Homo-oligomer: A and B are copies of this chain.
Amino acid sequence: MVAISFYLYYNIYNLEIEIGKGENKIRHKSIKFDDSTLYLLDQRKLPGEIEYFKASTFRDVEYAIIEMVVRGAPAIGATAAYGVYLAALEYKDLPDHDFYKQVLKSDKILADTRPTAVNLVWAINRMEWVLENNIEIGRETILSSLLEEANNIADEDIEINRQMAKNGNEIVNNNTKILTHCNTGSLATVDYGTALGVIRMAHQSGKNIRVYVDETRPRLQGARLTAFELVEEGIPAVLIVDSAAATLMRKKEIDLVLVGADRITANGDTANKIGTYMLSELAVRFNIPFYIVAPVSTIDFSINTGEEIEIEQRSSREVTHIDGSEIAPRNMKVYNPAFDITPAENITGIITEEGIIKPPLARGLANLSTKKQKETE
């Protein structure tokens, strides 16, 4: 039903980005749209293989998000935006009524791919707004407006990440040992990264930092992706199993915890990769600053607390198998939530492109919401 094509696009189609000034290093683009095709760096195959997944239809995009070819809240947002455009392209020759019906139906399918990250719905809403506001205009104009909006979402994400990184860099002192969880780098975004963006900026601005990376079971985004990005960029880093973080904290080997977010509620409660909440409790225990780094698009002002967030339960196979190898007996039950909720009271601050929100987070977030509403009025 769903046509999936894999191609090796390494070093073709301009899929690399130069790192730093004059440095002879590159990093691989997570997302690249070109000539009606979305190229996604296949994150299931890293770090062993650098391979691009080619999505030509919105169903390819649906598959890519569900199977986590692409992951990370901001990256999913931009990917879904291109997915909406691909749906519009697919149905462009239908009569008006059918065209809108089919595109909105596709949007619904894309929005349902993963329940926790709010950027997904946010990006699709932006695309639908463009669709609805161009209803009277010709089909070609609608298509070009949709592509422009998807490109805007992607381009803005890069700018937002750089601004977050600048804001975050102010709290990173020289000689800081930073713990991070999961992947929040250029692979989790369109480029640069959220929490890993702050780390990147601290390194690029000449600060001496050391990064401890949780491997982040079950999908090992820390080991496979964050470690890959850190090695690629030459940032001093050490990989640990998730349960070793407590020992490092007790030994005073961690000065700062930086993590991303999949959804932040109005009171500051934050859904992020399973294990984040554990780190927040340990950070409280050891008085270690614990910061969330996330764009404003990750904040869901429509719900008040983390209890209202739907936590995605993923397949038990993610825990019982690694690369096809069976590591648990059959018939073993598994509890595999993709995310956990870190309560606002455990969070030292939320680093956004609009600045750093400090406790009480509910008040800071309310002020931000008011500001954003005024901007769009």
Contacts and interface: CB of A to CB of B under 8 A. Distances in A.
A332 to B, nearest CB: 5
Contacts of A331: 231
B328 A215 contact: yes
A47 B329 CA distance: 6
A244 B228 CA distance: 24
B328 A239 contact: yes
Contacts of A232: 329
Nearest to A284: B285
A223 B319 contact: yes
Nearest to A273: B243
Interface string A252-280: 00000000000000000000001101100
A15 interface: no
A368 interface: no
Interface string A302-322: 000000000000001001101
Contacts of A48: 326
Given A282-B278, A323-B322, A244 B337 contact: yes
Contact of A243 (B250, B278, B335): B278
A185 to B, nearest CB: 13
A218 interface: yes
A322 B325 contact: yes
B246 A332 contact: no
A220 interface: yes
Copies of this chain, count: 2
A278 B246 contact: yes
A238 interface: yes
A326 to B, nearest CB: 6
Contact of A223 (B220, B246, B320, B337): B320
Contacts of A47: 326, 328-329
Contacts of A250: 277
A277 B246 contact: yes
Q: Determine the main DSSP class of A at the interface with B.
A: mixed
A104 to B, nearest CB: 36
B333 A224 contact: no
A157 interface: no
A231 B275 contact: no
Contact of A281 (B220, B230, B285, B325): B285
Contact of A242 (B242, B277, B324, B329): B242
Nearest to A282: B281
A243 to B, nearest CB: 3
Contacts of A217: 215, 217, 241-243
Given A239-B335, A337-B244, A223 B327 contact: yes
A223 B336 CA distance: 13
A285 to B, nearest CB: 6
A233 to B, nearest CB: 12
Contact of A285 (B218, B285, B325): B285
A340 interface: yes
A366 interface: no
B328 A247 contact: no
Contacts of A227: 328-329, 332
Interface of A: 47-48, 212, 214-218, 220, 223-224, 227-228, 230-232, 237-248, 250, 274-275, 277-278, 281-282, 285, 316, 319-320, 322-337, 340-341
- 8 pairs of A and B residues whose beta carbons are closest in the complex: A243-B275, A246-B278, A323-B325, A47-B329, A217-B241, A223-B328, A242-B243, A247-B340
